[in-house]
Amino acid sequence: MKLEIARQPIDDLTKDPRVSGCAHLLSLANGVPRSFFGRRFAALARPVVIESDCAGIGIWFGNVMRIARAILEPVTGQIICCYPEAAVPVLISTSMAAFRSTCAAALDRFPYYAGDDADDAPAVARADLEAIIKEIDPDVLKVDSFWVTFLDDVEMGDFTTEAVERLIAEVSR
């Protein structure tokens, strides 16, 4: 499985005084992951400047699990996630480059395990993926983050080859 990149237009953003001086805008134009395991993350067609209680001013460029917003924090360049009604954002990645690289590496490692693999296969996959993520963006493993939740889901058995194939077929319809 390979990562597809979506290049997001930033022309409207450069005219918005709330983020026009943001050095991180170019990271959107350089590309964001189009999707990551179907609904886990999906890019918007165009990024939008938003203000929220969770993140303040940010650039909404994608959705997490179809319910939360993936936001580029314009001052730090971090990628954060704001769930509905949340007061505090969840860290996704420390930069757009780290987000792209981590998504690509996690997809390159797929398949993780089959439904009929040994009982320890999910734990082995988690350990492999954790080492991959730690190499790219170690700070995301120090807090409750998008990637820690992903690792937990892998270890719980949510990412069998069969389950992922069903998800991708469902999203493709």
Quick check: bond before 111 cis, omega within 30?
Answer: yes
Q: What is the pLDDT of residue 23?
A: 75
> Stretch 18-31: mean pLDDT, rounded?
83
Where do the structural domains in the chain lie, given as residue ranges?
5-96, 97-172
> Stretch 94-122: mean pLDDT, rounded?
95
pTM assigned to the model: 0.93
CB 67 within 8 A of CB 84: yes
User: How many angstroms separate the most distant Cα atoms in the chain?
Assistant: 55
3-state SS, residue 47: strand
For the stretch 126-170, pLDDT in tens is: 999 999 999 999 999 999 999 999 999 999 999 999 999 988 888
> Stretch 14-40: mean pLDDT, rounded?
86
Q: What is the pLDDT of residue 150?
A: 97
Residue 169 CB partners (closer than 8 Å, separation 6+): none
Rounded distance, CA 91 to CA 65, Å?
15
Q: What is the pLDDT of residue 3?
A: 92
Question: How many CB atoms within 10 Å of residue 153?
Answer: 15
For the stretch 37-91, pLDDT in tens is: 988 999 999 999 999 889 899 999 999 999 999 999 998 999 999 998 888 999 9
φ/ψ of residue 35, rounded to 5: -160, 165
CA angle 98, 104, 110 (to 5 degrees): 135
Rounded distance, CA 101 to CA 99, Å?
5
